[in-house]
Amino acid sequence: MNRLFLLIICLHLFQTVIGQEKVFPGANEQTPSRAQYFSWINNTNEGATEKQTLINLEFFKWLQDEYGMILDIYAFDAGAIDGKRFYGDIHSERFKKQFPNGFDPIYEKAKSINTRLGVWGGPDGFGNAEFEKEARINQMVSLCKDYEFALFKFDKVCGPLRPEKEDAFIEMMKECRRYSPDLILLNHRLGLKKSKAHATTFLWGGQETYIDVFTTNATTAPHHRAGALDRGLVPGLKRLTEDHGVCISSCIDYWDDDLIMQSFNRSMILAPEIYGNPWLLNDGEFAKLARIYNLHRKYGKILVDGKVLPEEKYGKSAVSRGDDNTRLITLSNLTWEPISYKIKLDEEVGLNTDIDIELRQLHPTEKIIGNYKKGSELEIEVAPFRSCLLIASSQPNDEPSLIGTDYQLVRNVPDKSVLIKVLGMQGGSTKIKLKNASDYKTANLNGKDVSELLNDKSVKVNFKGELLQNAPHRKIADFKAIETPADAEALYEATCYAADNNALEVRSLERSGATSIPEVQKARDAFFEQSAFVKRGIWDKNLFDGDMKTGFWPSRKYDIDLKVKGGCFRLDLGEVTDIDQIIIKVPDDFSLQPLLKDEGNYAEVSSDLKNWTTITYYAGEEMVIDVNDSIRYLRLKAQPGRIVEIEAVKEGKYIEREKWRASNLFAHADKMKVVKTWMSTFKLNEIPEGSYLSFAINGKHGVEGAYAAVKINGKYQGCFDRSVSFPSNTWEYVNAEKDSNYTYYLPLDETMIGQEIEVFVMGYDSENIDLKPEVWISANPTPFVEQMLELKR
């Protein structure tokens, strides 16, 4: 009996060991990171197409050709094969419609730039019959065998893995890794059991990073990405997890600080990792994007080893990565004031060398801080709500670099001249020297020969402008409570009309402006002109394009009504205009709802936001509002569900619409009753380039419970932006809502110097009026004067 019992125990242990066979899941904790882009937010669940993907890959080819940036993985997100609640087939009509030539041309294009493909999908799809299981396995294996896929992102959104199909899943992953041994499997909320060993990562905290949709600020801040910078660290700095990367699509400002933390602070198996629409950056930012990728690749092998630095000395989530000779240190500051940290160059940060150590800053700007003995302690200032990347090394640095100034290495690729931005504050001057000067044959600064640099000599550089009297970032004033002014409604309307309810990506496009780079323009066009984007009616320009098939209407997604207190349609003509009639068009009676055909309704018009005139009009497919006056603003308290076109006429002639704008989600002023008002008044004696004001409303105010606006010499000026973002007709999912710590932003220009600026904060929630507003000034980017140094080898 005892022998039989022992035999059973041994058999059980043997089976357990066999069931837990050793699996290499494509990577381990010491595997260098792989640089990735994935296409979510570039497309949503309808999926990518061959045409759009090839255009996107051409953008990454341009980044490689111009700046040497290499993308390891380009991953398709949902809808390429599998989709939400369904499993796809690469032989289906749906797939062939999107990819008429299969993956062949995309694979060939990607391979030409040393990029491999990846795909989003679900963990199951094995059907109920044996032939269905084999078909699914063969399909996924073919992606690795025929196209060298490097990544599968399996998400429970598609559907869970049925317990009885875990063996099929294991069989599939084993066979896939026969052809792609380094295949990464991202486990997004799957709940795997015996097949868990085959997954490379899990999604850290379940958090996705679409700014002001899934990731938002918890505090007031001078930009939208403070919440992203404050994500913290995975316990034990575990790298076989995924932080979902950095979304470059909405609220783009300070994206580089976000990417520095993702790439060098957490430095997980996918890093740098971005998704969305990086082509929405402005032309001056692509070099920085490539620089971050290139730096990570340069030091990738040593970035796998990290240590968390003492919080009491280095601040929250400070990390040092590297080896005994070289450490890359990430610091951050999530306060409104600058913070100085003391960096000790010894074992405290992971250095174990007796050779002198060079300390450099690599972000936000680059600069050589100096050479120091082991154990030296240096103060490093980190700007408010920014990250900082340092490199401390006893090893020679062969990169093009300058001594004596902040700079930015723009380009350093074979067969092209080296470009370095020389940075200095206006009115200042400095002497610069070129490190490793003997590596270069010519040197030109703004087109002027500076051959002295090649002989290891200094050159004086002057930066135009007058010296600033104040720090570009500083607190301006507090607020005091006042009696609510008689023109509170006009102040509210000023911000409603200055802002918009367009998709967040449209706001990013307007933020970055026009591009001169063909590859960037093509990628932007491919995104904004895709059928799904146009048909969702999420850009107000569709009302002014002469096309009755396009429009702009309040989105309703996931059964969520995005309108604030019923919403209100607003039209801004851009300037006071003399008109006879405004004509609003809808395609049919259904689109007219909740208005009913031939019933009377009211429109309100104004030229100054203070005085409004009410006009009666009749609902229908073509609604004519008789104005017969000079106006700029129109609002409809009750709006049709789907407006497709708006026109205006004067004496029978149509009026140009270039300056026209519209919104449809903000509440009507009648539903926004002010319960408390705060005011601050000041003048600015200087305004550096790129400056803006932040009106930080500290405290709980309720959802849409506090608005800010300004009067400059008595003229109304609304805030065009806010964190958390103003309500928008979002491209994907819905805007985040927050009930506290809004920060409103107002751009500044030199015409406002010396003007009286009156800032008003209005509270609308009687239960949440314990607020402490503040005014801060900042500049983005930091107002350096730039000069370009060109070096030829």
Q: What is the DSSP letter of 215?
A: B
pLDDT of residue 206: 81
Which is nearest to 247 in space by CA: 29, 42, 528?
Answer: 42
Mean pLDDT over 184-200 rounds to 90
pLDDT of residue 7: 45
pLDDT band at 21 (very low <50, low <70, confident <90, very high): low
- CA–CA separation, 260 vs 362, rounded Å? 10
Looking at the predicted structure, is the pLDDT value of residue 522 above 60? yes
> Who contacts 208 (Cβ-Cβ below 8 Å, separation ≥6)?
214, 215, 244, 247
- CA–CA separation, 484 vs 486, rounded Å? 7
pLDDT band at 126 (very low <50, low <70, confident <90, very high): very high
Mean pLDDT over 474-478 rounds to 97
Same-domain status, 176 and 259: yes
Asked whether 740 and 699 are in contact (CB, 8 A), the reply is: yes
Provide the number of structural domains found in the chain. 4
Structure tokens at 583: 């004509």
Same-domain status, 212 and 335: no
For the chain, the residue count is 793
Q: What is the pLDDT of residues 53-105, one digit of tens each?
A: 999 999 999 999 999 999 999 999 999 999 988 999 999 999 999 999 999 99
Same-domain status, 263 and 157: yes
> The CATH number of the domain where 86 resides is what?
3.20.20.70
- CA–CA separation, 623 vs 648, rounded Å? 11
Last residue of a domain, one of 633, 663, 693: 663
Asked whether 652 and 635 are in contact (CB, 8 A), the reply is: no
Looking at the predicted structure, is the pLDDT value of residue 35 above 80? yes
Structure tokens at 755: 């003007």
Q: What is the mean pLDDT of the chain?
A: 95
pLDDT band at 4 (very low <50, low <70, confident <90, very high): very low
Same-domain status, 52 and 76: yes
Last residue of a domain, one of 299, 325, 340: 299
Task: Please give the angle made by the CA atoms of 22, 23 and 28, to the nearest 5 degrees.
Answer: 115
Within 10 A of 255 (CB to CB), how many other CB atoms are there? 28
459 forms bridges with which residues in the sheet? 432
Element (H, E) at 423: strand 418-425
pLDDT band at 15 (very low <50, low <70, confident <90, very high): very low
Looking at the predicted structure, is the pLDDT value of residue 439 above 60? yes
Element (H, E) at 437: none
pLDDT of residue 651: 96
Structure tokens at 59: 């953008």
Asked whether 613 and 605 are in contact (CB, 8 A), the reply is: yes
3-state secondary structure of 525: helix
Q: At what angle do helices 50-67 and 286-299 cross, to 10 degrees?
A: 70
What is the DSSP pairing of strand 116-121 with strand 73-76? parallel
> The CATH number of the domain where 609 resides is what?
2.60.120.260
- CA–CA separation, 587 vs 641, rounded Å? 11
Longest dimension (CA), the chain: 107
Share of the chain above pLDDT 70, in %: 97
For 562-686, strand residue ranges (E) read: 569-585, 600-606, 612-618, 622-636, 645-650, 653-654, 661-663, 676-682
> 703: domain range?
474-501+672-779
pLDDT of residue 8: 40
Q: What is the DSSP letter of 523?
A: H
- CA–CA separation, 440 vs 457, rounded Å? 14
Looking at the predicted structure, is the pLDDT value of residue 431 above 90? yes
- CA–CA separation, 750 vs 754, rounded Å? 9
Looking at the predicted structure, is the pLDDT value of residue 12 above 60? no
> The CATH number of the domain where 430 resides is what?
2.60.40.1180
- CA–CA separation, 126 vs 165, rounded Å? 7
**Looking up tokens 């404050």, which residue turns up?**
230
C-alpha atoms less than 13 angstroms from C-alpha of 627 in its C-beta half-sphere: 28
pLDDT of residue 3: 55
- CA–CA separation, 746 vs 625, rounded Å? 33
> Who contacts 100 (Cβ-Cβ below 8 Å, separation ≥6)?
50
Burial, 565: exposed, middle or buried (Cβ in 10 Å; 0-12, 13-18, 19+)?
A: middle
Mean pLDDT over 288-300 rounds to 98
Mean pLDDT over 535-554 rounds to 97
pLDDT of residue 17: 41
pLDDT of residue 10: 45
- CA–CA separation, 722 vs 700, rounded Å? 16
pLDDT of residue 158: 83
pLDDT band at 2 (very low <50, low <70, confident <90, very high): low
Structure tokens at 673: 């009753």
Looking at the predicted structure, is the pLDDT value of residue 631 above 50? yes
Element (H, E) at 613: strand 612-618
Same-domain status, 391 and 487: no
Query: Which stretches within 541-583 are classed as H helix?
Result: none
Last residue of a domain, one of 663, 696, 730: 663
Asked whether 306 and 328 are in contact (CB, 8 A), the reply is: no
pLDDT band at 191 (very low <50, low <70, confident <90, very high): confident
Which is nearest to 553 in space by CA: 604, 590, 605?
Answer: 590
Same-domain status, 658 and 691: no
> Residue type at 748?
L
Strand order of the β-sheet with 743-747 is: 474-478, 772-779, 691-698, 743-747, 721-723
- CA–CA separation, 370 vs 72, rounded Å? 34
Q: What is the pLDDT of residues 447-458, one digit of tens each?
A: 999 999 999 999
Cβ density class 268-290: b for 16+ within 10 Å, e for less: bbbbbbbbbbbbbbeeebbbbbb
Assess if residue 514 is contained within a domain: no
Same-domain status, 264 and 343: no
Same-domain status, 136 and 237: yes
Which is nearest to 789 in space by CA: 430, 388, 279?
Answer: 430
Within 10 A of 204 (CB to CB), how many other CB atoms are there? 18
pLDDT of residue 101: 97
Assess if residue 520 is contained within a domain: no
> Residue type at 156?
K
Same-domain status, 193 and 290: yes
Looking at the predicted structure, is the pLDDT value of residue 5 above 80? no
Same-domain status, 350 and 453: yes
Asked whether 783 and 426 are in contact (CB, 8 A), the reply is: yes
Same-domain status, 270 and 336: no
Assess if residue 532 is contained within a domain: no
Same-domain status, 372 and 240: no
